Amino acid sequence: MENGKLFLLAADTILFLHVAFVAFVVFGFVLILVGKLRSWFWVRNPWFRWTHLAAIGFVVVQSWFGAICPLTILEMALRRQAGDEVYSGSFIAHWLESILYYQAPQWVFVVGYTGFGLWVVASWFWVRPRRFKDGN
C-alpha cells in the first residue's frame, strides 16, 4: 500500500474513533436517562458511568482552555502527510459548519459543552451509579 493511502486509512480510522467517542458521550447520556426510566441495571455500572463522566469532563476542560481535541490534531497531521485537505478548528465546530452550515463564536461551543457536562453531572445524582465491588 502506498504511503499516502496508508496515512489516509489511519486518518479515517482516527475520524471513526472520534465519531465513536462523540456518540459514546451523547448517546451514553441518553441511555442513562432512558435506563433510569426503564430500570435498566447496567446504566448504574460504575465503570460505564466514570468513563462517561471522564469523557465529557475532558471535552469541557479542553473547551475552557480553547484547546483543539488531540484526535483532531492527529487526524489532521495524518491527512497532511497524505497530501489530503485539512480543516481548521475543532472537530465539532467543523462538522456543525459542514453539515448544518452553522457558524458560531467559540464561546457558544464552550457554553454548549459546559451545559451538557452539567447535565451529565446532574444525571449522576438522579441515576446513582453502583459502588465498585470485587470483580465489578
Quick: pLDDT tens for 33-92.
999 999 999 999 999 999 999 999 999 999 999 998 899 899 889 988 988 777 666 666
List pLDDT tens digits, range 84-130: 777 666 666 666 556 544 567 889 889 999 999 999 999 999 999 99
Beta carbons within 8 Å of 90's beta carbon, 6+ residues apart = 68, 69, 72, 109
| 100-103 long-range contacts, CB within 8 A, separation 24+ | none
Instruction: Give the pLDDT confidence score for residue 87 in this predicted structure.
Output: 66
| Whole-Å CA distances, 92 to 26, 32, 59, 99, 125 | 12, 22, 11, 10, 28
What digits encode the pLDDT tens for the residues 14-29? Answer: 888 888 898 999 999 9
